Amino acid sequence: MNKRVMKAAVAAVAVGGFLLGTAGTASAAIDKDGRLESGEFGLYYNSGLGGCVFDVAADNNFADDYFKGGSCSGNGQTTNDNTASYWNRSVFTQYVFTDWYKEGIQGSLPSGYSGDASSNFKNKISSTSIIAR
């Protein structure tokens, strides 16, 4: 009788762990999918949070990243040196840099901040991080 109870308990724990694991991934934000979700940082192709968005947590080099979003302005354009506005939906301060690998001019955007890029950063952002260099 004890073996049956133990097997049932192990099976219940395994099923419960599986259900918890899959429920967490279904609602988690997935960066670089063209949808800015809670917990992500979004860079927009146009000013005023317009056009396609590049959604990311952090990335040292935008050279191989592209704006996504279907029929929006900028779809398929490289993100590198091509960002006009941004929205920080993460809980961390987001740092942007004008060169790859956190080099060049550094700017910081607090959690919840959204707006147009200043003249120092408009169409010049090449990398981002949640930790300053």
Q: Rounded to the nearest 5 degrees, what angle is found at the Cα of 27, between the Cα atoms of 26 and 29?
A: 110
108 token code pair: 């910081």
- Has residue 26 got a pLDDT over 70? no
- Has residue 10 got a pLDDT over 70? no
Same domain for 69 and 25: no
Q: By mean pLDDT, which of 7-21, 29-43, 45-59 is the weakest?
A: 7-21
70 CB-contact burial (10 Å; exposed 0-12 / middle 13-18 / buried 19+): exposed
Q: What pLDDT, in 10s, does the model give residues 12-22?
A: 444 444 344 44
Same domain for 15 and 56: no
Q: How many angstroms separate the CA atoms of 89 and 107, rounded?
A: 16
Same domain for 61 and 124: yes
61 token code pair: 């080099």
- Give me the CATH number covering residue 79: 2.60.20.10
Count of domains for the chain:
2
Q: Residue 95: phi, psi to the nearest 5?
A: -105, 135
Average pLDDT, the chain: 84
